Amino acid sequence: MCGIVGYAGERGAADIIYNGLKQLEYRGYDSAGIATLSDGKIHHIKRCGRVNALDGFAQKLSGKVGIGHTRWATHGKPSDNNAHPHLWGKFAIVHNGIIENYAELKEKFFAGVKFLSDTDSEVIVRLLDKFYDGDFALALNKVAALLTGSYAIVAICTDFEGLGVLRRKSPVIIGYGSDGNFAASDAPALAGVCKQISILEDGDCAILTRGKVEIFDSNLRKVQRAKKPNLATAASLDLGDCPHYMLKEIREVPASVVNTCAAFQSVESSLKQALRGVTRVIITGCGTAYNSGLVAKRYIEKFARIPTEVEIAGEFRYKDPVITSGTVIIAVSQSGETADTVEATLLAKASGAKVIAVTNAPYSSLTRCADVVVPVAAGPEICVAATKSYTGQLAALYMLAYVLAGKSADGAAENISAVPKLCKKTLECADIDSLADMCVSSRGVYFLGRDLDFAVATEGSLKLKEVSYIQSEGYPAGELKHGTLALIDESILAVVLITSARLAGKSENAVEQVLSRKGKVAVITNVESVIKRYADRAHIVKVPECEEDISPFVAAVAAQRLAYAAAVKLNRDPDKPRNLAKSVTVE
Ligand code: M6R
């Protein structure tokens, strides 16, 4: 979604905000803007394009108070006009979220008035100016009472040397710096400038000046929000010698797995307690997080023999789910802020399910509705495409499945201990680059597999399409013949994952079916008999041999590397794929 930053302090605001926005570009990058306040006047610049479209202009904005925005368009196409900040009267605002009743509000309060943009957000600044009578906090409060939907809003007012902040559903943190105070969507924006942060809660309003932070609830009663350490550091955002965060983060997969296993120990006993008497598991998440649930289902059903369903959060939240006693919901989310996942989890909780959150974001919204938070210790993931967080999720879910089976997490950690080395070896696999060439020259790519291989195939396909824009689908190998085979011809590539000797013969059927229809085939495998059989008929990527249960880690790293290589060959920016944003805090 969009990224927002505000600063009120002793230094030039524009520079600080610009740097913060650069760190938040993963949240959206179709337009950007900054507004500052000096001598009772608002100065601003906004441009279609990435944050660096502001280069040379932003630096000229004077003032020690300001707000900034990097956008992922929801209402209104990416354009200079639709970029934030939006200005009207004495105010400028930046907004992340969706104002669902913006059309009604326009009709009710501004009928016949021409707005300057096509956004839902502009109505906020118009309302602020309308309801302002000298009290900033009161005006914010009145506006909040009118808005429905989700919002993180930071506003400036020509009468006041500071910031006004509102939060409902979309995340906002307050940062305490040595020379001023901040508001931002996420901790990386404040890496290196704030050691301490507070997380605003739904309905909160905050007023920040250079030396003071005041937080109010929705009744404008003063409240305290605990200060926590800012875990994002400047070092964690350093690209090192990597050209892209995607590659850097794939290389960090081994560390993500090691750290997640280590972090699991701190929750093992509370998890055991929470899972006592569980008879049914529902896993929910979106995108990659959903895909890791597909792997986890297989772990849980194999180790614990507990029936497990995997639900796309955006679907689950709109059905009337059957939550029986003994149901636990495992909500998986890298960011912990994905709106569909948070809402699906709240729904299950309200129906009586226990909630386990599996997340890389320890202070996120998801953690606040969980009975137990299982940490994914992947570290900040900047690339929009999830890589090290996926394998971190697999590690956490593998351990969780063990605990559900009544076993000690030590046993699980022992099984996974081979994973970091195996993943490093996979990164060195020679034939991935040439497979990327095959992808690039194909009209479409199917990722096929059975059981665990199918679960990883869904993620391999998502990764490829997300960063390379090549049409792709993850499909169960056995299902191909029930319709999809009609699409196979010489322009189509099938990437078949075969990491299980048990199921190799069955997956080979799919290889034969594609070859017979003149489709191209690549096999990612560690099964010797498969390598021998297809050495001359298919492109082989030989990945390290391993136990079947940990093969998803190995296959995932191969698929991630493949997607990265294809994106680079096509000159895509793998870190910021078009039309996407990392943290999807709207529906
Ligand atoms: O932060 P979350 O894990 O909840 O995000 C869910 C999806 O938006 C995310 O996994 C998305 O599919 C990734 N960009 C895929 O690489």
pLDDT tens-digit readout, 550-569? 999 999 999 999 999 999 99
Task: Tell me how far apart the alpha carbons of residues 209 and 464 are, in angstroms, rounded to a whole number.
Answer: 46
Beta bridge partners of 216: 205, 222
pLDDT tens, residue by residue, 136-189: 999 999 999 999 999 999 999 999 999 999 999 999 999 999 999 999 999 989
Q: At 301, which helix (H) or strand (E)?
A: helix 287-303
Amino acid occupying residue 64: K
Amino acid occupying residue 544: P
Residue 85 preceded by cis peptide, ω within 30:
yes
pLDDT band at 363, cuts 50/70/90? confident
Q: Left, alpha or beta for 108 (phi > 0: left; psi -120 to 50: alpha)?
A: alpha
Residue 321 preceded by cis peptide, ω within 30:
no
pLDDT band at 73, cuts 50/70/90? confident
**What are 40's two structure tokens?**
């009772």
Rg (CA), the chain: 25
Q: Which atom of ligand 1 is nearest to the CA of 286?
A: 6
Q: How far is the CA of 583 from the centre of ligand 1 (A)?
A: 7
Cβ–ligand 1 contact at 383 (below 6 Å): no
Give backbone dihedrals phi and psi of 524, rounded to 5 degrees, phi first: -100, 110
Cβ–ligand 1 contact at 333 (below 6 Å): yes
Cβ–ligand 1 contact at 360 (below 6 Å): no
Q: Whose CA is nearest to atom 10 of ligand 1?
A: 288
pLDDT at 132 over 90: yes
Residue 281 has a CB neighbour count (10 Å cut-off) of 27
Task: Tell me how far apart the alpha carbons of residues 569 and 319 are, in angstroms, rounded to a whole number.
Answer: 42
pLDDT at 11 over 90: yes
Give backbone dihedrals phi and psi of 117, rounded to 5 degrees, phi first: -135, 175
Q: List all residues 6 or more positions away from 197 whose beta carbon is below 8 Å from its beta carbon.
A: 173, 174, 175, 176, 187, 190, 227, 228, 229, 230, 363
Cβ–ligand 1 contact at 560 (below 6 Å): no
DSSP string spanning 188-201? GGGTTTEEEEEEPP
Contact 190, 182 (CB under 8 A): yes
Q: Is 369 a catalytic residue?
A: no
Q: Whose CA is nearest to atom 14 of ligand 1?
A: 385
Sign, CA torsion 448/530/502/395 = negative
Cβ–ligand 1 contact at 289 (below 6 Å): yes
Choosing from 64, 169, 248, 582, the catalytic residue is 582
Of the candidates 465, 580, 466, 468, which has an alpha carbon nearest to the alpha carbon of residue 73? 580
pLDDT at 255 over 90: yes
Q: Whose CA is nearest to atom 8 of ligand 1?
A: 287
pLDDT computed for residue 1 by the predictor: 73
User: Which of 54-63, 113-122, 550-559, 576-585 is least confident?
Assistant: 576-585
pLDDT band at 66, cuts 50/70/90? very high
Q: How far is the CA of 392 from the centre of ligand 1 (A)?
A: 13
Ligand 1 pocket test, candidate residues 283, 334, 391, 562, most atoms within 8 A of CB: 334
Q: Which atom of ligand 1 is nearest to the CA of 287?
A: 12
Of the candidates 448, 443, 442, which has an alpha carbon nearest to the alpha carbon of residue 477? 448
Q: How far is the CA of 308 from the centre of ligand 1 (A)?
A: 21
Contact 291, 333 (CB under 8 A): no
Cβ–ligand 1 contact at 466 (below 6 Å): yes
Cβ–ligand 1 contact at 286 (below 6 Å): yes
pLDDT band at 64, cuts 50/70/90? very high
Give this prediction's pTM: 0.90
Contact 33, 192 (CB under 8 A): no
Sign, CA torsion 496/501/506/508 = positive
pLDDT at 50 over 90: yes
Q: Whose CA is nearest to atom 12 of ligand 1?
A: 287
Mean pLDDT of 377-392: 96
Q: Is 2 a catalytic residue?
A: yes
**What are 184's two structure tokens?**
């931002």
Q: Which atom of ligand 1 is nearest to the CA of 341?
A: 4
Of the candidates 87, 68, 96, 86, which has an alpha carbon nearest to the alpha carbon of residue 172? 96
Cβ–ligand 1 contact at 54 (below 6 Å): no
- Strands lying side by side in the sheet with 444-449: 472-476, 444-449, 492-498, 520-525, 539-542
Amino acid occupying residue 294: L
Cβ–ligand 1 contact at 584 (below 6 Å): yes
Of the candidates 375, 175, 116, which has an alpha carbon nearest to the alpha carbon of residue 266? 375
Mutual angle of helices 122-131 and 136-146, in 10-degree steps: 130
Amino acid occupying residue 29: Y
C-alpha distances in angstroms, 227 versus 197, 371, 479?
A: 5, 22, 52
pLDDT computed for residue 237 by the predictor: 77
Q: List all residues 6 or more positions away from 105 whose beta carbon is below 8 Å from its beta carbon.
A: 99, 123, 127, 146, 147
Judged by DSSP in three states, 567 sits in helix
Sign, CA torsion 438/525/549/513 = positive
Amino acid occupying residue 112: G
pLDDT tens, residue by residue, 373-383: 999 999 999 99
Cβ–ligand 1 contact at 384 (below 6 Å): yes
pLDDT at 231 over 90: no
- How does DSSP classify residue 124? H
Q: How far is the CA of 286 from the centre of ligand 1 (A)?
A: 6
Q: Which atom of ligand 1 is nearest to the CA of 389?
A: 3
Judged by DSSP in three states, 151 sits in strand
Contact 392, 360 (CB under 8 A): yes
Q: How far is the CA of 348 from the centre of ligand 1 (A)?
A: 20
pLDDT tens, residue by residue, 332-362: 999 999 999 999 999 999 999 999 999 999 9
User: Which of 180-184, 261-265, 345-349, 577-581 is least confident?
Assistant: 577-581
Cβ–ligand 1 contact at 458 (below 6 Å): no
How far is residue 335 CA from its own chain's centroid?
A: 5
What is the signed CA dihedral for 414, 415, 419, 420, rounded to 10 degrees? Answer: 0
pLDDT tens, residue by residue, 500-544: 999 999 999 999 999 999 999 999 999 999 999 999 999 999 999
Beta bridge partners of 32: 47, 70
Cβ–ligand 1 contact at 334 (below 6 Å): yes
What average pLDDT is seen over the chain? 95
pLDDT at 268 over 80: yes
Identify the residue whose tokens are 């090290």. Answer: 388
Task: Tell me how far apart the alpha carbons of residues 7 and 71 are, in angstroms, rounded to a whole number.
Answer: 18
Q: How far is the CA of 456 from the centre of ligand 1 (A)?
A: 15
Q: Which atom of ligand 1 is nearest to the CA of 584?
A: 8
Q: How far is the CA of 455 from the centre of ligand 1 (A)?
A: 16
Cβ–ligand 1 contact at 544 (below 6 Å): no
